[in-house]
Structure formats: structure tokens, C-alpha cells
Amino acid sequence: MNKTPLARYPNLRLRRPRAFSWSRELYAEHHLRPQDLIWAVILKNGNGVREPIAAMPGVCRLSVDQAVLAAKEAVGLGIPALALFPYTDTKDRSPNGDEALNADNLMCRAARAIKDAVPDIGLMADVALDPYTDHGHDGILKDGEIINDRTVELLVQQAVAEAKAGFDIIAPSDMMDGRVGAIRAGLDAAGSENVQIMAYAAKYASAFYGPYREAIGSAGILKGDKRTYQMDPRNSDEAIREVALDLAEGADCVMVKPGMPYLDIIRRVKDEFGAPTFAFQVSGEYAMIKAAAQNDWIDGDRAMMESLIAFKRAGANGVISYFAADAAKALQG
């Protein structure tokens, strides 16, 4: 397509369509809808719990009963799915993250309760061991090394338990090699062949995860860092290789995490594969916007919406975000 303007100034004035709100709507190239959002929700044991997270203003850890209310709110706002993550007390953590395999753990109880109350909402389960290990890593740690294949065996068990509890999407965030294919085989063998896999395909070793680690109780316990399994922020081609492997192993869709610092990766993945591609607007991205807004340095609502439309412009089908409910309300309003 010839993109050279057929006319030039003064006959062509690109400001003309910007002059009125109705005209801006007609000319808009990308749109954000509540249906494009997945609401990230942090769970906590208890009843009637809405515990504020200091590093994430406006976000609370929710007990199961409160998560059910959030699911009902999401349906009313047009948000199609929730992504659940567990806060785990120190006493429930162990070297191998055994609580992850408990069919009656917080995640599984929440899934059953939400599906009982709101059967038509989609539920996405994080699959990794870091919310459950006493060292804060996503896999089994031995002599300072993450043991890939043994970790994958446990992730399959975790995924099968979560699928049986009612989760519709299994989202492995651990970045172990081969885990997507193993989880797909495990789900199919367990009769959960219709449960989807959203692979955290390009997940970077990022500084933007800090508030989340506080939210799930991992802050301060992580031994070392995660650079031996999460991606190097300097690399782009490697993301394409990771995505290709996950799609070949049976991922239904893929995710880029974090979101805003990696818009170029989202665009490359969408252009290269044409597969359903999602962005995760992570806790650090959320916290930066909230903190700047609280200090009156930026307009928080406008920054929220601008950040979310950027993911759509980059090629994302949808966005996992802590802003989902606020954004949906703004869109309805």
C-alpha cells in the first residue's frame, strides 16, 4: 500500500480530523474494551479480608468470599476473566513448594467458590512454585541451581490440580524449559483437554516485579535472583525463540511480561506468529502510575488508559492488569 500522502499542505491538514471528539472517534485506529482486560487478583486466607498492599495503592489481598464479589463485579463491568495469584504465609512455604500441589489450597478453593457463584467467568491460574517455596524461586533449588526437569514434574501436578478445581486457563510463569508440552500432556491425560494454556513465553528478569513479590509474601525471602531462567532484558530474538517453542509445545496463546518496557517484543511476536498475544501490565508498572498520580505529577486516569491502549496498539489481543476494574469503569462511564 502506498503510504505517501496524495496531497500536501495546505490542501492536506492532518489536524482537521482532530478538531472534534466525534471525528477523533471515527479516525481512531485502536480501541480498548472491557472485554480486552483480565483482572489480576491477589488472594489471601481468611474471611471478609480486604487487606491493602502498601506498594500497590488501591489493590487489596482478597479472601475467597471477597474474590467471589470481585468476580461478580467483573461480570457486571464486562471483564471476561480473572487471573488469580496466592499470598502464602511463611508457615505454609517449603523448599519444594508442596502447598502448590494441595488440591484444597487457596487457589483451588477460590476457583471452586468463584465458579459456583459466577460459572461463566473465565479463570486463569498462575503455575509456578515461587508463591509456595521458602526460597522464593519458581522451581526446586539444589546447591544454588534450579532443577529444571524435576520442577516441570511438579508443575504438571499443580496444573492438573488447578484445572480440576475449575480454572479455564493454565498460565505457567516459571520459565522452565519444556513445561508447556509436559503440562499439555498432563492436562490431556487427566481429562482436561479443553483447558487452555497461556504461556508466559517471553518473561524477562525484570525490576518491575517488586510490588508483586510483596503482594504474595515473597519479598525478602528470595535467595539470589532469577536470571538463570527468566530472560535477559537485552534480548529480543531470544523472545521469538521462546514463543516458537511454546507454540510448538501446544500453547493456545502467549504472553509478554512485563508489558510497557517490552512493547517492541509484543509487536515482534504478533507480526512473526499471528498467534493470540497478551501483555501483562505488572505490579511495578501499576505502582509507578499510582505513585505519580498520588503526588499530582500526572493525571492517573489518563495515564492508566494511555498505558492500556499502548498494548493494543503494539498488537496485544488483551492485557492482564491490576487496573482492569478501574479501566472498565472508565470505559463504561
Q: What is the pLDDT of residues 242-264, one digit of tens each?
A: 999 999 999 999 999 999 999 99
Q: Is residue 265, in this structure, part of any structural domain at all?
A: yes
Domain count, the chain: 1
Q: Is residue 251, in this structure, part of any structural domain at all?
A: yes
Query: What does residue 139 show for φ and ψ, rounded to 5 degrees?
Result: -145, -175
Please check the confidence at residue 124 and state whether its pLDDT lies above 70: yes
Q: Is residue 310, in this structure, part of any structural domain at all?
A: yes
Structural domain range at position 154: 32-332
Residues 319, 35 contacting (CB under 8 angstroms): no
Q: Is residue 73, in this structure, part of any structural domain at all?
A: yes
> Would you state the pLDDT for residue 175?
97
Q: Is residue 23, in this structure, part of any structural domain at all?
A: no
140/154 Cα distance (integer angstroms): 9
Please check the confidence at residue 5 and state whether its pLDDT lies above 70: no
Q: Is residue 10, in this structure, part of any structural domain at all?
A: no
Give the mean pLDDT of 86-105: 96
Q: Is residue 15, in this structure, part of any structural domain at all?
A: no
Kindly report which listed range (6-20, 60-74, 283-297) carries the lowest average pLDDT score: 6-20
Please check the confidence at residue 279 and state whether its pLDDT lies above 90: yes
Q: Is residue 174, in this structure, part of any structural domain at all?
A: yes
Active-site residue identified among 203, 270, 290, 312: 203
Active-site residue identified among 44, 115, 257, 290: 257
pLDDT tens column, 72-85? 999 999 999 999 99
Whether the CA torsion 60, 61, 66, 72 is positive or negative: it is positive
Crossing angle (nearest 10°) for helices 263-273 and 237-248: 50
223 catalytic? Reply is no
Q: How much of the chain exceeds pLDDT 90, in percent?
A: 95
**CATH code of the domain containing 303:** 3.20.20.70
115 catalytic? Reply is no
Residues 254, 202 contacting (CB under 8 angstroms): yes
